[in-house]
């Protein structure tokens, strides 16, 4: 073995240790609820907790709604920009980067400050949370869709559809959308992963969600939080795994994200 590759292995091993030790420790820790034996009691407790079901399903609902809103807003925009407004592209790209400038805590601070008083006191509406999540996921969703469109000859497809008598709705739904399905799916799974573990927005907009539930659990229990960490990790892993699976062969989009 060359000296260079020995060094490489060393760094890789360090990376693997950093990555896996916390997971292994959480897993072992989560099995220690019952004194003296390893058991899945902590997981049973969580799954039996009616609050878990309530908050978890709420998060699933937020995630799916966010994906729907995101697709409805970003697919037509990205399509239209590619087709008719190539000059606006840099502006749109700049706008899709804006959410990076506004951290979640500042975004929710602004949302609360803005929408808790007239003219639009909608701070209690679940829609505000969904729209906030749509903003947070915009850089990933928009980019995924745009990358998908890059691989498609948008003008030719559009003209072909039009010459066959299709209207705009038909073009979007039955021509464009099927062609970028993979891209939309990978954007959706990324959004799903972000929303499922999100804490800040749900907490301060006072909505039931998995993140605030986990936080509450962390304050009163010892072993269940570790089990939650494992469940949450499994979710992230599943979302990213499916994303890579459906994205095989497609141009790799940005897959860096996070609601830290």
Q: Which is nearer to other proteins, 9 or 160 (CB)?
A: 9
Q: Which is nearer to other proteins, 13 or 160 (CB)?
A: 13
214 lies in the binding site for other proteins (CB under 8 A):
yes
Q: Which of residues 99-138 bind other proteins (CB under 8 A)?
A: 99-115, 128, 131-132, 134-135, 138
251 lies in the binding site for other proteins (CB under 8 A):
no
The answer to whether the beta carbons of residues 55 and 210 sit under 8 Å apart is yes
Say how many residues make up the chain: 260
Binding piece for other proteins, criterion CB under 8 A, among 3-11, 145-153, 165-173, 176-184: 3-11
87 lies in the binding site for other proteins (CB under 8 A):
no
Binding piece for other proteins, criterion CB under 8 A, among 46-54, 56-64, 168-176, 189-197: 189-197
In the numeric block, the tokens 């409805």 are attached to 72
Neighbours of 247 (CB within 10 A): 21
Give the integer Cα–Cα distance in Å for 247 and 250.
5
The token duo for 229 is 């960490």
Q: How many CA atoms lie within 13 A of 218 on its CB side?
A: 10
67 lies in the binding site for other proteins (CB under 8 A):
no
The answer to whether the beta carbons of residues 257 and 194 sit under 8 Å apart is yes
182 lies in the binding site for other proteins (CB under 8 A):
no
Give the integer Cα–Cα distance in Å for 79 and 73.
11
Q: Which of residues 158-177 bind other proteins (CB under 8 A)?
A: none
Q: Identify the DSSP state of 86.
A: G
Q: Which is nearer to other proteins, 123 or 165 (CB)?
A: 123
The residue from 43, 56, 79, 204 that contacts other proteins (CB under 8 A) is 204
Work out the burial of residue 258: count CB atoms within 10 Å of its CB; fewer than 13 is exposed, 13-18 middle, 19 or more buried: exposed
144 lies in the binding site for other proteins (CB under 8 A):
no
Question: By CB under 8 A, how many residues form the interface with other proteins?
Answer: 85
Q: Which is nearer to other proteins, 25 or 53 (CB)?
A: 25
């Amino acid at each position: 073995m060359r000296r260079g590759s020995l060094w490489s292995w060393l760094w890789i091993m360090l990376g693997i240790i950093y990555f896996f030790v916390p997971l292994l420790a959480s897993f072992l820790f989560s099995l220690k609820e019952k004194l003296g034996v390893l058991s899945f009691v902590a997981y049973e407790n969580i799954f039996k907790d009616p609050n878990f079901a309530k908050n978890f399903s709420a998060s699933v609902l937020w995630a799916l709604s966010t994906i729907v809103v995101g697709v409805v807003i970003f697919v037509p925009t990205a399509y239209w920009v590619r087709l008719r407004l190539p000059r606006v592209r840099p502006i749109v790209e700049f706008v899709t980067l804006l959410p990076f400038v506004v951290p979640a805590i500042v975004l929710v601070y602004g949302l609360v400050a803005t929408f808790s008083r007239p003219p639009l006191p909608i701070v209690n509406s679940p829609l505000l949370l969904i729209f906030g999540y749509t903003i947070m996921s915009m850089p990933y969703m928009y980019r995924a869709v745009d990358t998908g469109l890059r691989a498609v000859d948008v003008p030719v497809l559009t003209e072909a559809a039009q010459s066959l008598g299709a209207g705009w709705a038909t073009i979007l739904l039955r021509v464009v959308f099927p062609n970028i399905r993979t891209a939309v799916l990978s954007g959706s799974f990324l959004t799903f992963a972000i929303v499922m573990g999100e804490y800040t927005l749900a907490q301060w907009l006072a909505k039931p969600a998995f993140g605030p539930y986990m936080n509450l659990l962390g304050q009163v229990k010892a072993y269940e939080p570790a089990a939650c960490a494992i469940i949450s990790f499994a979710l992230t892993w599943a979302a990213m795994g499916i994303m890579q699976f459906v994205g095989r062969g497609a141009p790799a989009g940005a897959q860096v994200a996070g609601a830290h």
